[in-house]
């Protein structure tokens, strides 16, 4: 039944979209608060997926504990990265900073090779493995849990970003750095916080993706590259845009690849980004300057 | 000397590429007074503000010489955050609001260095009493407020830091005379009722001298004249250059400048 197949692709696309949304959100947050385009974002997701395969797969930690440990480790890594590396790049030329993140990506990949070796590892099975069917589509429980976990985290992030004091300071720095500094907001604290939360989101994305993907391997960093079309399509500086963009990219990609073949995944993801940008140059939700003089 | 106010002594500032913006500038804002610094565009007024508030680094500027103290504590090496914590907050030139944040969020950013407390909410209400229009528009993005409302918001935001010294950089710029008069009336009220010291950086000499106790004139990075605001208002040069008065006072003024230079040398 062709409709069954479509429903199947649609529903698994929604779970994938929830992961993309998380990853794109972290990417957008780091860009918004620190003006750094983080090309290493996907490798943090990959690192988290490898940690997951060790903690949940090999050591058999319960899902919730493993999730917490990986998420917090990545958050701490974000703070450390800011104070040891990125802090010194503040105010440097845009492309120098971008290249530093490219270098970071290479280092993380090397670290993974050293600790985990080049062989791929199986799908992590830290969640209930059964399935259920909806109107002819077979849905693994895993997909449902991924959707719920990602959804809760996105909501938690939105509350943090829009309601908390730290979130306010992040938005202030993103809006006008000099004014924020004049009000006594310490930009290093905000930057470190943005890196921590950006990596935390990538980390949770990695934990979930390790349960979703057929295997954990050195190709997972590509998921980070999916954050680009998702974030850019939504509007590179827009938080809701990242969420919607992640969902759109995942759905179109999943459904498209389901019919055309997996080799088209990346083409489709970047293809829709291209089309949206032709139509709306600053993305779906990207804001132009909102200033009245 | 714990409440000696702001003391700037022999301050020299240069920006990267060795443009000297301030040369040997000295200034005093005694506690509880309103002091104004007058000067044309490019005289170095905003550089002076940046030096006092720890913002030079944003523009690749550095203090080459001199000291700045506030109530006896040196602040010329302090971070911008530390300066605000010491009790100095500014209404920056060009207002520098957070255009996408709501009016209320802008005000809350003014309290960034304060401990979370119910007092912050009380201060918020106080700002809305001072500027009722901000209360009405508290949920609107600051970028959509009118020029006058934006300046009120910038003042309110600085007040949220509970400053003991408020620095207003070009408060009057681009505003209708009625709004300017209203803002200065408020500054005097804050000065009288709360003993808040105020440093007014202005191009609009008339309004600045009418609303201050003491004034300085900054020209190309150096202080050239200082005196009681009433005296300066009567000064022929200040009248000619800054108050639009009738001319022929050049020689008298140059004598005054020479006299001042000798006095501070």
CB contact A289 to B (< 8 Å): yes
Is A282 among the domain residues? no
pLDDT over threshold 80, residue B249: no
| Residue B99 near chain A (CB below 8 Å) | yes
Contact A184 B81 (CB under 8 A): yes
Q: pLDDT grade, residue B198 (50/70/90)?
A: very high
Chain B's closest residue to A188, CA to CA, is B81
Classify residue A248: in a domain, yes or no.
no
Mind listing the pLDDT tens digit for each residue in B57-101?
999 999 999 999 999 999 999 999 999 999 999 999 999 999 999
Q: What is the pLDDT of residue B168?
A: 97
A-contacting residues in B 137-156 (Cβ below 8 Å): 141, 143-147
Mean pLDDT of the B170-184 span:
94
- Say whether pLDDT at A293 is over 50: no
Contact criterion met (CB < 8 Å) for A180 and B98: yes
For residue A286, name the pLDDT band (cuts at 50, 70, 90).
Answer: confident
A179 occurs within a structural domain:
yes
Residues of B in contact with A183 (CB under 8 A): 84, 89, 109-110, 112-113, 157, 161
Q: Does A4 touch chain B (CB under 8 A)?
A: no
Residue A133 lies in a domain: yes
Q: Does B260 touch chain A (CB under 8 A)?
A: no
Q: Do A182 and B90 touch (CB under 8 A)?
A: yes
The yes-or-no verdict on residue B176 having pLDDT over 60 is: yes
Predicted local distance difference test score (pLDDT) of residue B251: 60
Residue A272 inside a domain? The answer is no
Residue-level pLDDT at B265: 67
Look at residues B170, B165, B155 and name the one whose alpha carbon lies nearest to residue B97.
Answer: B155
How far is residue A64's CA from residue A283's CA, in Å, rounded to a whole number? 35
Cα–Cα distance between A64 and A1 in angstroms, integer? Answer: 38
CB contact under 8 A, B105 and A171: yes
Nearest to A183 among B99, B110, B146 (CB): B110
Q: Does B97 touch chain A (CB under 8 A)?
A: yes
pLDDT per position as a tens digit, A224-246: 777 778 888 888 888 888 899 99
| pLDDT of residue B252 exceeding 80 | no
Q: Which helix (H) or strand (E) holds A215?
A: strand A215-216
Q: Where are the beta strands (DSSP E) in chain B?
A: 6-15, 19-29, 34-38, 61-70, 73-74, 88-91, 165-169, 197-202, 214-219, 222-228
Q: List, as one string, the DSSP characters of B99-132.
A: TTSBHHHHHHHHTTTSPP-HHHHHHHHHHHHH-H
Q: Round the average pLDDT of chain A to a whole number and report it.
A: 90
The dihedrals phi and psi of B23, each to the nearest 5 degrees, come to: -130, 110
Q: Is there a domain that residue A99 lies in?
A: yes
B contact test, residue of A182, A185, A241, A282 with most B CBs within 10 A: A182
If one counts the domains in chain A, the total is 1
Residues of A in contact with B83 (CB under 8 A): 184
| Greater pLDDT, B29 or A272 | B29
- Which pLDDT does position B244 carry in this prediction? 64
Q: pLDDT at position A290, please?
A: 40
Q: Does A176 touch chain B (CB under 8 A)?
A: yes
* Three-state DSSP class for residue B200: strand
Residue B250's pLDDT is: 59
Give the least confident one: A147-156, B16-25, B129-138.
B16-25
Distance (Å, rounded) from C-alpha A137 to C-alpha A11?
A: 8
B102 vs B93: CA distance, rounded Å = 20
Mutation test of the interface with chain A: which of B80, B87, B159, choosing the one with the most A Cβ atoms within 10 A?
A: B80
A278 within 8 A of A239, measured Cβ to Cβ = no
**A–B interface: beta-carbon pairs under 8 A:** 88
Using DSSP, how many helices (H) and how many strands (E) does chain B show?
11, 10
pLDDT of the residue at A1: 55
Could you tell me if A16 lies within 8 Å of chain B, comparing CB atoms?
no
| Residue A172 CB coordination number (10 Å) | 27
What mean pLDDT do residues A206-221 have?
90
Which of B97, B108, B161 faces A179 most closely, judged by CB atoms?
Answer: B97
Residue of B nearest to A181 (CA): B80
Phi/psi of residue A119, each to 5°?
A: -80, 145
ipTM of the complex: 0.89
For residue B58, the chain A residues in CB contact (below 8 A) are 177-178, 181
**Closest Cα in chain A to B158:** A183
Mean pLDDT to the nearest integer, B129-151: 96
Q: What is the mean pLDDT of residues B233-246?
A: 75
What is the model's pLDDT at position B128? Answer: 98
Closest to B81 (Cβ–Cβ): which among A186, A290, A292?
A186
**SS3 of A182, please?**
helix
pLDDT value for A291: 40
Its pTM stands at 0.88
Chain B residues whose beta carbon lies within 8 Å of the beta carbon of residue A180: 98, 109, 112
A132: β partners: A139
A 10 A CB-CB count for B64 gives 14
Is B255 an 8 Å CB contact of chain A? no
Confidence at residue A289, expressed as pLDDT on a 0 to 100 scale: 46
Q: How confident is the model at residue B238 (pLDDT cuts 50, 70, 90)?
A: confident
| A176: closest chain B residue by CA | B98
For residue A175, the chain B residues in CB contact (below 8 A) are 98-101
Three-state secondary-structure class, residue B201: strand
Judged against a pLDDT cut of 70, whether residue B246 lies above it is answered with: no
Range of the domain at A63: 24-225
From chain B, the residues in CB contact with A282 under 8 A are none
Write down the pLDDT at residue B138. 96
The reply to whether A113 touches chain B by the CB within 8 Å rule is no
- Indicate whether A258 belongs to any domain: no
Distance from CA of B264 to the nearest CA of A (A): 32
For residue A252, is it within any domain?
no
Model confidence pLDDT, tens digit, residues A41-96: 999 999 999 999 999 988 989 999 999 999 999 999 999 999 999 999 988 888 89
- CB distance B119 to B135 below 8 Å: no
Taking CB atoms and an 8 Å limit, are A290 and B105 in contact across chains?
Answer: no
Strand order in the sheet with B61-70: B19-29, B6-15, B61-70, B73-74
């Amino acid at each position: 039944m062709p409709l069954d197949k479509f429903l199947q692709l649609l529903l698994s696309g929604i779970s994938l979209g929830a992961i993309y949304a998380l990853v794109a959100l972290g990417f957008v947050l780091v860009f918004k608060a620190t003006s750094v385009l983080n090309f290493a974002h996907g490798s943090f997701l990959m690192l988290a997926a490898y940690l997951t395969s060790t903690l949940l797969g090999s050591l058999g930690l319960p899902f919730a504990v493993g999730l917490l440990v990986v998420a917090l480790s990545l958050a701490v890594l974000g703070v450390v990265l800011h104070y040891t590396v990125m802090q010194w790049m503040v105010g440097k030329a845009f492309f120098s900073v971008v290249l530093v993140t490219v270098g970071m990506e290479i280092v993380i990949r090397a670290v993974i090779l050293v600790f985990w070796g080049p062989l791929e590892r199986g799908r992590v099975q830290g969640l209930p493995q059964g399935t259920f069917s909806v109107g002819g589509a077979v849905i693994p429980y895993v997909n449902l849990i991924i959707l719920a976990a990602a959804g809760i985290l996105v909501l938690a992030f939105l509350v943090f970003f829009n309601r908390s004091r730290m979130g306010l300071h992040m938005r202030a720095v993103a809006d006008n750095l000099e004014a924020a500094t004049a009000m006594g907001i310490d930009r290093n604290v905000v930057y470190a916080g943005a890196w921590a939360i950006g990596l935390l989101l990538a980390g949770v994305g990695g934990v979930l993706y390790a349960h979703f993907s057929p295997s954990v391997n050195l190709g997972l960093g590509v998921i980070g590259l999916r954050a680009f079309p998702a974030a850019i399509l939504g509007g590179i500086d827009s938080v809701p845009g990242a969420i919607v963009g992640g969902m759109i990219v995942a759905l179109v990609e999943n459904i498209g690849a389901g019919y055309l073949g997996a080799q088209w995944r990346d083409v489709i993801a970047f293809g829709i980004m291209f089309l949206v940008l032709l139509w709306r140059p600053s993305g779906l939700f990207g804001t132009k300057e909102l200033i009245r003089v | 000397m714990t409440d000696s106010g702001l003391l700037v002594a022999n301050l020299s500032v240069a920006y990267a590429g060795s443009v000297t913006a301030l040369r040997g500038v000295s200034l005093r804002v005694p506690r509880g007074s309103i002091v104004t610094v007058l000067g044309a565009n490019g005289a170095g007024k905003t550089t002076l503000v940046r030096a006092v508030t720890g913002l030079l680094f944003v523009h690749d500027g550095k203090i080459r010489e001199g000291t700045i103290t506030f109530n006896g504590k040196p602040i010329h090496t302090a971070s911008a955050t530390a300066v605000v914590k010491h009790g100095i907050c500014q209404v920056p030139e060009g207002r520098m609001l957070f255009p996408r944040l709501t009016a209320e969020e802008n005000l809350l950013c003014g309290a960034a260095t304060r401990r979370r407390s119910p007092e912050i909410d009380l201060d918020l209400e106080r700002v809305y009493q001072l500027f009722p229009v901000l209360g009405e528009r508290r949920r609107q993005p600051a970028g959509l407020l009118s020029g006058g409302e934006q300046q009120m918001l910038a003042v309110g935001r600085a007040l949220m830091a509970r400053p003991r010294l408020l620095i207003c950089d070009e408060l009057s710029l681009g505003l209708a005379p009625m709004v300017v008069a209203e803002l200065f009336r408020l500054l005097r009220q804050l000065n009288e009722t709360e003993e808040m010291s105020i440093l007014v950086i202005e191009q609009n000499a008339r309004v600045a001298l009418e609303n201050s106790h003491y004034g300085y004139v900054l020209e190309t990075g150096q202080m050239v004249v200082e005196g009681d605001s009433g005296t300066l208002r009567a000064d022929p040069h200040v009248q000619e250059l800054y108050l639009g008065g009738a001319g022929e006072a050049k020689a008298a003024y140059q004598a005054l400048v020479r006299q001042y230079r000798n006095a501070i040398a």
